[in-house]
Amino acid sequence: MTEITRSRGGHVEKSALIPDLPYFSVVIPVYNDPGGIRQTLDSLVRQDYPVNYFEIIVVDNCSTDHTKEVVLEYARGSPMIRLEKECSIQSSYAARNRGILASKGAIIAFIDADMSVGVDWLMRIARSLREEPGDYLACGVELSGNKNTLYEIYDKITGFPIRLYLGNDHFAPTCCLVVHRSLFMEQGLFDSRLISGGDLEFGNRVFESGKHQGYRPDIIMIHPARSSFRSLYQKSFRIGRGLRQLSRFYPERFQYPDLRVWNPVNYLPSTPWNFISSGKRNEIWKELSFIEKFSLYYINWLLKLAKIRGYRAESPRGSGSDFPPA
């Protein structure tokens, strides 16, 4: 039992004696997103968790705007916040690795800039780890937004099916991942060469080692929904590039023939019943008209083509690739 202090909106207050809690390092990669990092830090400095039991490490991936100044502004008022820089590699995974190496917590919790969490986020994670010890834990993610564009609706319906990710592909998105430091010491860090899919590759390493991959959907993290076709397209294109990189760096574990082979069938839309069954998992689906559902199905097809295009962009003739042909 130790006398500790709690963080309340960045202010330090005395607290009663409570049982020992794990020390958390919260790692946030950021690039050119002053508004997003402000939103995230606002929620983190209000954590109902002992202020001397966690640190917040923001890793700037060589931003060209005033993102760094925003972080330093928060750091002046909250001693648990620290700014690190990763300018040698333009990669969110390289930034996360920098944060891991700079951290001192036994438990490392990742969150993306522009996300937010409730005041009891860290306390709920600590309680979960006490009830069910483990080295790899995924939190739940809810998508927020009120623009009500078809693209936002699409993102809310299809985004972050974490239970399926864990069950089928053995990984959790990095934005909601909690990892014990010892697991990084055992398995190594994220592969910073990857533009996307570093969470997939790391998760598969963990799964193949026989470690349990936990999931707590009740520990909610809020992620803004993408509300434009451009943002959805860029994400799908980036995922496609990452899948190609995975198939080159780890051919024994990752192969994607549906994206690789020039077969006209690969360019057809997904089967309607697969898309419908996916949509039905979300409460929004039943509120939509037939036209809206068909439009979402059309968007899904366009994004499939974007992923194929991203995959093929990593060929020798693609943009910025130095990989030999697949």
Both 55 and 125 in a single domain? yes
| Residue 77: how many other CB atoms lie within 10 Å | 11
Q: Which of 187, 208, 227 is the last residue of a domain?
A: 227
Residue 72 lies in a domain: yes
Q: Classify residue 319: in a domain, yes or no.
A: no
* Residues spanned by the domain of 306: 231-312
Indicate if the pLDDT at residue 326 is higher than 60.
no
Q: Is residue 57 part of a domain?
A: yes
Is the pLDDT at 10 greater than 50? The verdict is no
Q: Are residues 258 and 203 in the same domain?
A: no
317 within some domain: no
Same domain, 90 and 209: yes
When pLDDT is cut at 50, 70 and 90, the band that residue 318 belongs to is very low
- The two tokens of residue 158 are 């299809």
Supply the CATH number for residue 199's domain. Answer: 3.90.550.10
Distance, in Å, from the CA atom of 285 to the CA atom of 293, rounded to the nearest integer, reads 8
CA 298-302-304 angle, to 5 degrees, is: 115
Q: Are residues 187 and 40 located together in one domain of the fold? A: yes
Query: For the residues 134-141, what does the mean pLDDT come to?
Result: 97
Residue 107 corresponds to which tokens in the numbers above?
């438990």
Both 194 and 287 in one domain: the answer is no
Quote the percentage of the chain above a pLDDT of 70.
Answer: 90
Q: Is residue 195 part of a domain?
A: yes
Q: Read off the pLDDT band of 314 (50, 70, 90).
A: confident
Tell me, yes or no, whether 185 and 246 share the same domain.
no
Residue 198 to residue 301: CA distance in whole angstroms: 25
Query: pLDDT tier at 18 (50, 70, 90 boundaries)?
Result: low
Over range 156-177, report the average pLDDT: 96
Of 227, 249, 264, the residue at which a domain comes to its end is: 227
Tens-place pLDDT, residues 251-282: 999 998 878 767 787 888 888 888 888 888 88
What is the rounded average pLDDT for all residues in the chain? 90
Same domain, 203 and 237: no
**Residues 124, 241 share a domain:** no
Q: Is residue 156 part of a domain?
A: yes
∠ CA 22-206-157, rounded to 5°: 85
Rg, Å, the chain Cα set: 20
Residue 189 is assigned to a structural domain of this protein: yes
Per-residue pLDDT at 67 exceeds 60: yes
CA distances to 3, 105, 131, 194, 241 from 248, rounded to whole Å, are 52, 34, 40, 11, 11
Closest CA to 184 of 212, 168, 165, 203: 203
219 shares its domain with 235 = no
- Please check whether residues 182 and 253 belong to one and the same domain: no
Q: How confident is the model at residue 19 (pLDDT cuts 50, 70, 90)?
A: low
Mean pLDDT of 136-158: 94
Task: Provide the pLDDT for residue 140.
Answer: 97
Same domain as 138, residue 95: yes
Residue ending a domain, choose from 193, 227, 261: 227
Q: How does pLDDT run across 80-131, given as a tens digit for each residue?
A: 999 999 999 999 999 999 999 999 999 999 999 999 999 999 999 999 999 9
pTM passes above 0.75: yes
pLDDT of 316 > 60? The answer is no
173 and 267, same structural domain?
no
Q: Is the pLDDT of residue 183 over 80?
A: yes
Structurally, the chain folds into a number of domains equal to: 2
Q: Tell whether 318 is covered by a domain.
A: no
